[in-house]
Amino acid sequence: MPSRTMIEAIRSAMDVSMERDERVVVFGEDVGFFGGVFRCTEGLQKKYGASRCFDTPISETGIVGAAVGMAAYGLRPIAEIQFADYMYPAYDQIVSEAARLRFRSANDFTASMVVRMPCGGGIFGAQTHSQSPEALFTHVAGLKTVIPSNPHDAKGLLIAAIEDEDPVIFLEPKRLYNGPFDGHYDRPVVPWSKHPLSDVPDEHYTVPIGKAVVRREGSAVTVLAYGTMVHVAEAAAQDTGIDAEIIDLRTLVPLDIDTIVQSVEKTGRCVVIHEATRTSGFGAELAAQVQERCFYHLEKPVLRVTGWDTPYPHIHEWDYFPGPKRVGEALVEATAKD
Amino acid sequence: MPSRTMIEAIRSAMDVSMERDERVVVFGEDVGFFGGVFRCTEGLQKKYGASRCFDTPISETGIVGAAVGMAAYGLRPIAEIQFADYMYPAYDQIVSEAARLRFRSANDFTASMVVRMPCGGGIFGAQTHSQSPEALFTHVAGLKTVIPSNPHDAKGLLIAAIEDEDPVIFLEPKRLYNGPFDGHYDRPVVPWSKHPLSDVPDEHYTVPIGKAVVRREGSAVTVLAYGTMVHVAEAAAQDTGIDAEIIDLRTLVPLDIDTIVQSVEKTGRCVVIHEATRTSGFGAELAAQVQERCFYHLEKPVLRVTGWDTPYPHIHEWDYFPGPKRVGEALVEATAKD
Amino acid sequence: MAEHTPLSLHVPAPPTEEGGRQSSSLPFSAAGAVRRPPVDVDPREIRDLAFELIRVLDDDGNAVGEWAPELDVETKRNGLRAMMKTRAFDSRMMKMQRQGMTSFYMQCTGEEAVACAFQSALRKGDMNFPTYRQQGLLIAQDWPVVDMMNQILSNSADRMKGRQLPVMYSAREAGFFSISGNLGTQYIQAVGWAMASAIRNDTKIAAAWIGDGSTAESDFHAALVFASVYQPPVILNVVNNQWAISSPQSIAGGEKTTFAARAHGYAIPALRVDGNDYLAVRAASEWAAERARRNLGPTMIEWVTYRVAPHSTSDDPSKYRSKAEEKGWPLGDPIERLKTHLIRTGEWSEERSVQLAAELDAEMSAAASEARALGTLHDGPRLSPATMFEDVYKDMPRHLREQRQQLGY
Amino acid sequence: MAEHTPLSLHVPAPPTEEGGRQSSSLPFSAAGAVRRPPVDVDPREIRDLAFELIRVLDDDGNAVGEWAPELDVETKRNGLRAMMKTRAFDSRMMKMQRQGMTSFYMQCTGEEAVACAFQSALRKGDMNFPTYRQQGLLIAQDWPVVDMMNQILSNSADRMKGRQLPVMYSAREAGFFSISGNLGTQYIQAVGWAMASAIRNDTKIAAAWIGDGSTAESDFHAALVFASVYQPPVILNVVNNQWAISSPQSIAGGEKTTFAARAHGYAIPALRVDGNDYLAVRAASEWAAERARRNLGPTMIEWVTYRVAPHSTSDDPSKYRSKAEEKGWPLGDPIERLKTHLIRTGEWSEERSVQLAAELDAEMSAAASEARALGTLHDGPRLSPATMFEDVYKDMPRHLREQRQQLGY
Ligand SMILES: Cc1ncc(C[n+]2csc(CCOP(=O)(O)OP(=O)(O)O)c2C)c(N)n1
Ligand SMILES: Cc1ncc(C[n+]2csc(CCOP(=O)(O)OP(=O)(O)O)c2C)c(N)n1
Ligand SMILES: [Mg+2]
Ligand SMILES: [Mg+2]
């Protein structure tokens, strides 16, 4: 199987889907002629024509609003928001429209569509190129929220999202686009080709939405992570030598709570990590659910390692980012025998 | 002291503030000539003139965006969003602009402003007149989020919000506008005049932002609530006879965690309630923090009683609303000796 | 140039009277005065039309000028019937609301011609993206009023399963998109739908609807930008009924220009039409629909009309607008105007009108009984609360199944 | 009318060449050809100006027509100097970026006249709400370039404390509002600021800035609606540099009309001006500023210019646009054009230009050394991470104090 970067895997998912299904269309700012500022849609306009892959005006409201209309018609739109930080102008169309259309019309109209957006920091992008707004989607009934951590999942999950009958928010950790970044920013960059999960088949396949996966089995503590933080968790486990069980959630809503509960019941300890702002981040939901469901198995409180409650800073990126050091400290704390 | 409804208390807060400070201006859809669809701004245009209290076009983007500009100039704008359900078009201006202006400019510019919005259900308003979007604000660093449960607090908190140097989201539980609703929707409506907290002084006073209050002392279980749910909690305690300690948070961010921890350490049990959708609601943050900080005092998991993870329905309003019955069941569960 | 006096804020202040405001709309053209360009006209050549008012019916009920459509008698009578039925429906629903059978209702009194005549220019498969004040789109195509009443009563047969506020219909089969409570959002969706039709080389067209007040919303601009760029087959309707709850159109930017003129900045052709003139509405709708079907792109139409009734059953206009204006029906009654025309041309009579009104009232009464038997907001058959957890997603995820169980289902 | 062929989607396809696209802008008027109306003209009488192009400098460097401003020699030389300094600044910063001293930079090459000449029409206390491509507003008022460099290098003296992406300046004292990374948001804020000035019966005016591409954003529409309704003292600038990253202006709705024309639908007067003509920019800016100061309300100005450089240091235009067009500087070099004029009028010489360029380069070099000594992105003095928790709120709340402690401060 060919090794692909995350970008290539995402592109391949769209390519395969456009090939199989004429209803699939792709658009966004700089997405058409140029192929996207991160090159995820490169070549698609040439291959499928400008009416299936095109540039849009700089209006996130318009991009998502038009997608809702297209989906209501019966197309399968894939809308790209250039950075997750720029999704706010589209938030009304996402929350009030895409998410609620099926419910409010009792199935008369639906919005099967994907909104893709690069998220997360680690590229010195400061407050408007670094955000992780997943919790703003997980709070909204009617949305599914997906976030892959590697090329294999990225392709499979994106195809599953395109074929899903509900609106799916597809978050792409941009720091993973070109390599499996583990938070050791001072070490040489590792390419995806060195990572087994960059084996991405050419053909169509899906990774199911709503299914987490255990990335590393362990007995000392359960780590709940997604996106870039899966790699950070792996680094922290390695750095500390703690036998952590690392769960890659892959889908935040609907959440694969069974996999989580099974693990925490085994380890009795749990650390939740994410890059987003701490207060009301998705980690709060995870911590709340774990203590609700595993209370009598827990030896320690569920710990959260997250971005701070500040806007994402520019120069202090690495002080903000919850890297392997901070995660490692939490692993130590969670597993300490006191 | 005169008895005032919530509406009158809110109006009085703006009146007093406009009187004292020429920089205070009030605007929103139907806010000027008519005095607001809930009459909160009635009489203000007449008293202070159309350039201090005026109608706006139906553009929530514009209302909040203009408020940010006015605040940057040095005014103290109070913007009304007609229903919290309609704040989404303004979300970019709230999150990316008002919340971050001080930080990104390192104090060069600030956005001292209040965004008022009626929230919550209980008036058969269906999905677009019933929402409680507080968690979408608490996740955003730079915002303060306030929600009063009675006329006295409403006036004092609103004046404090107007005088605050940071942007404040001021949520007004609309079901409380005219009476202290406790969730017993089938009983006769009670007017505020019967409630001690409707004693609202004519003059200027503040209730501090960031301070919770114990509404009912008790030893069996701590209930964390805000807005309408404070009254529901009181009804549930009364209905079940359980000696609950009910904390009215009043401010969600910054959270008065001391008052919470002190109570939970005493009771060892905690129930969190809110009307908003459960997943990633503010209750998740509360549960996460309580178990983080009070783990060794907890006898039971922190329970959440919330709205369901569906859009707010119309006819099934009372099945959706977490009324005294559901809250009561949680109190029983939390205090059960097993 | 050196010294300047202090600035001051302009806040539009329409004339007040009897303690209320007037809407103060712009002057009208005479019936028949505006030219009818070919549908493939260069948009730049008809900029003036955004500042005129296309009218066909003169004060005496004659159909005059280039816009007078050639319609057979039956079609015109159907138009009259559709408008009268819409009004009969409104009046029946107001009664039921006052009787507590529903929580809420919204009338379109005075605006019947806009929706009814517009619908007659559409074809099966076309899609409207309406606001809450276009019940005429459904009624004009004889959509079962019982179905609409079921929604309004939120009863056991409500296809929306009691989830939506009354009047927030959805009827895919009738080319009627699910109404959103959030103003404006449907405008860009209509453009997206029309883009989809063009992408698929289909022949269907879309119609976007918005009120004067709501043109201030962001989605309005997004819709115009996308319509301008991709030239999809969409008709961009602005229903200027002079009011947005308590705010006259001047608060939406209508003080010194027309809403039709908004389109020009996007190179979209625009018409401004007397929305209380059934024949003018029909002609302009057909013109715009033909442009769309010929792939000539979007057209904006401002329908100038007047909201005679309160905004909704929750509203009391006596607090904010002039009673005199309201009582004067500024553009006349569209039903009366078409009736006068039909009588003048010998195709109708007062007696037949009275008879038709009675028939329609009986029809509404029968439908209301039928709907009431299926339940009302507070009484009778009722959908199970378990249905609340359905349709959030196509398949109910585990957490919703758990929550349904917690509720006891 | 019965049968229609299938629809198809129009996607603007500007001419391609050398593997890239061209921007294909609309035709220009001759220098001096456009009339200059009085500032209190009825906006309806100057609609045509949105489709013309106000130009003062002809091809030979003569200042012609009614818009030619009466400026003394010193003022014009200052203008030339401001533009040259802006370019020198850009070129120095590009060097530093390539040397890794900053993560990011954005040039305004070719657009210097717009910001530099505009600023000269403002007064102390007025407020710009700029985009990232108006560094000229600061440089033209001789704001210390070291201060700007400190921000770009995110060093220990960065007044923004290293929080913002480079070039996202803020300088209240210079009437320069904090730049947002989110496109468009500042447009309505400028209108709000101007409303505030009017509310307070002040004399200050505001200037809103936006790019051609960003006019599609919602805030643009909100700004125009509010400006239309309240008539505040604001100048609504649209910098049409033909490109938005890889997308030509046709993708923003500029295929068949001008951006200036957008204003008409809101009854706002609009000018369309050659943005590479220092004298035209100056004259138009003064006209609009005078309108604002006299409480005559908002003015929109479309500045037609060309983005000569890549979008930013992260961009490579060879992937999407014609090299030939880029190399051709479609509207000429604003610096060359003003220089030619000054030389022609005997007020300048090639030698003085060369000398000034050298002086400015030395000035930049000295400033760069000074800034570098205060640190760069990766080296030298650096702000403590503890500062990250400051200014989120006026007073640091408990949870942020706790988090700062967790970080070890
Ligand atoms: C986003 C949003 N903001 C505010 C409202 C509240 N609201 C409902 S109807 C209305 C007035 C709309 O006026 P207009 O667009 O002129 O339509 P009309 O009612 O006259 O038909 C307002 C402000 C809403 N429903 N959605
Ligand atoms: C809300 C938002 N969407 C997208 C972006 C990404 N983006 C940054 S600059 C740019 C192009 C802007 O073009 P234009 O407005 O013409 O300004 P110019 O760069 O030409 O000066 C885009 C799409 C952004 N910063 N903010
Ligand atoms: Mg209206
Ligand atoms: Mg541009």
Nearest residue to C164 (alpha-carbon basis) of C181, C187, C185: C181
3-state DSSP assignment of residue B113: coil
Q: What are phi and psi of D57, to 5 degrees?
A: -85, 125
Q: Do B30 and C8 touch (CB under 8 A)?
A: no
Q: Whose CA is nearest to atom 17 of ligand 1?
A: C211
Q: Which of C132, C155, C170, C182 to mutate to test the interface with B (most CBs of B within 10 A)?
A: C182
Q: Where are the domains of chain B?
A: 3-199, 213-335
Contacts of C162 in chain B (CB under 8 A): 313-316
Omega within 30 of 0 (cis) for the link into C166: no
Output the pTM of the full model: 0.98
CA of D306 to the centre of ligand 4 (A): 8
Q: What one-character-per-residue DSSP string does D181-202 give?
A: SSTTHHHHHHHHHHHHHHHTT-
Q: Is the CB of A82 under 6 A from ligand 2?
A: yes
Strand order in the sheet with B144-146: B53-55, B24-28, B76-80, B114-119, B168-173, B144-146, B251-253
Q: Do B55 and C182 touch (CB under 8 A)?
A: no
- Quick one: pLDDT band at residue D1, thresholds 50, 70, 90? very low
Contacts of B109 in chain D (CB under 8 A): 170, 172, 177-178
First to last CA, chain A: 48
Q: What one-character-per-residue DSSP string does D135-151 give?
A: HHHHHTTT--HHHHHHH
Nearest residue to B210 (alpha-carbon basis) of B262, B274, B113, B143: B143
Q: Is the pLDDT of residue C25 over 70?
A: no
Mean pLDDT, all residues of chain C: 96
Domains annotated for chain D, with CATH where assigned, are 27-378 (3.40.50.970), 385-409 (no CATH)
- pLDDT single digits (tens) C292-301: 999 999 999 9
Active site residue B184: no
Q: Quick one: which atom of ligand 1 is closest to the CA of B89? A: 1
- pLDDT single digits (tens) A264-308: 999 999 999 999 999 999 999 999 999 999 999 999 999 999 999
Neighbours of chain A (3+ CB pairs under 8 A): B, C, D
- Does residue A22 sit at the D interface (CB-CB below 8 Å)? no
Burial D22-35 (b: 16+ CB within 10 A, else e): bbbbeeebebbebe
Query: How much is the pLDDT for C1?
Result: 47
Domains A3-199 and A213-335 alike in fold: yes
Q: Is the CB of C214 under 6 A from ligand 1?
A: yes
Residues 73-112 of B with CB under 8 A from D: 73-75, 77, 89, 92-93, 96-97, 101-110
Nearest residue to D367 (alpha-carbon basis) of D169, D158, D144: D144
Task: Measure Cα distances from D299 to B221, C70, C300, D191 in Å.
Answer: 63, 45, 25, 11
Q: Do D246 and A30 touch (CB under 8 A)?
A: yes
Q: Is the CB of D211 under 6 A from ligand 2?
A: yes
Contacts of C154 in chain B (CB under 8 A): 314-315
CB B10 within 8 A of CB B149: no
**From B128, B253, B288, residue closest to A284, measured CB to CB:** B288
Q: Is the pLDDT of residue C67 over 80?
A: yes
**From B51, B126, B310, residue closest to C164, measured CB to CB:** B126
Q: Do A102 and C394 touch (CB under 8 A)?
A: yes
CA of C244 to the centre of ligand 1 (A): 6
CATH superfamily for domain B3-199: Thiamin diphosphate (ThDP)-binding fold, Pyr/PP domains (3.40.50.970)
Q: Is the pLDDT of residue D24 over 90?
A: no
Mean pLDDT, all residues of chain D: 96
Query: How much is the pLDDT for A232?
Result: 98
- pLDDT single digits (tens) C111-133: 999 999 999 999 999 999 999 99
Q: Which residue of C has its CA nearest to D262?
A: C265
Q: Quick one: which atom of ligand 2 is closest to the CA of D214? A: 15
Q: Is the pLDDT of residue D25 over 80?
A: no
CA of C145 to the centre of ligand 3 (A): 25
- Does residue D376 sit at the A interface (CB-CB below 8 Å)? no
Structure token digits, residue A129: 């190129």
Average pLDDT of the residues in D75-79: 98
CA of B141 to the centre of ligand 2 (A): 24
Q: Which residue of C has its CA nearest to D12?
A: C229
CATH architecture, range B213-335:
3-Layer(aba) Sandwich (3.40)
pLDDT in tens, chain A (338 residues): 789 999 999 999 999 999 999 999 999 999 999 999 999 999 999 999 999 999 999 999 999 999 999 999 999 999 999 999 999 999 999 999 999 999 999 999 999 999 999 999 999 999 999 999 999 999 999 999 999 999 999 999 999 999 999 999 999 999 999 999 999 999 999 999 999 999 999 999 999 999 999 999 999 999 999 999 999 999 999 999 999 999 999 999 999 999 999 999 999 999 999 999 999 999 999 999 999 999 999 999 999 999 999 999 999 999 999 999 999 999 999 999 87
- Does residue B127 sit at the C interface (CB-CB below 8 Å)? yes
Query: How much is the pLDDT for C26?
Result: 59
The CA dihedral of A27, A29, A30, A31, to the nearest 10 degrees, is -20
Residues 181-220 of B with CB under 8 A from D: 210
Axis crossing angle, helix B6-20 with helix B151-163, rounded to the nearest 10: 30
The C-alpha atoms of residue A45 and residue A63 are separated, in whole angstroms, by 17
pLDDT in tens, chain B (338 residues): 799 999 999 999 999 999 999 999 999 999 999 999 999 999 999 999 999 999 999 999 999 999 999 999 999 999 999 999 999 999 999 999 999 999 999 999 999 999 999 999 999 999 999 999 999 999 999 999 999 999 999 999 999 999 999 999 999 999 999 999 999 999 999 999 999 999 999 999 999 999 999 999 999 999 999 999 999 999 999 999 999 999 999 999 999 999 999 999 999 999 999 999 999 999 999 999 999 999 999 999 999 999 999 999 999 999 999 999 999 999 999 999 87
Beta partners for B78?
A: B26, B114
Q: Which residue of B has its CA nearest to D125?
A: B73
Ligand 1: which of C132, C214, C240 to mutate, most ligand atoms within 8 Å of CB? Answer: C214
The C-alpha atoms of residue C340 and residue C349 are separated, in whole angstroms, by 9
Complex ipTM: 0.98
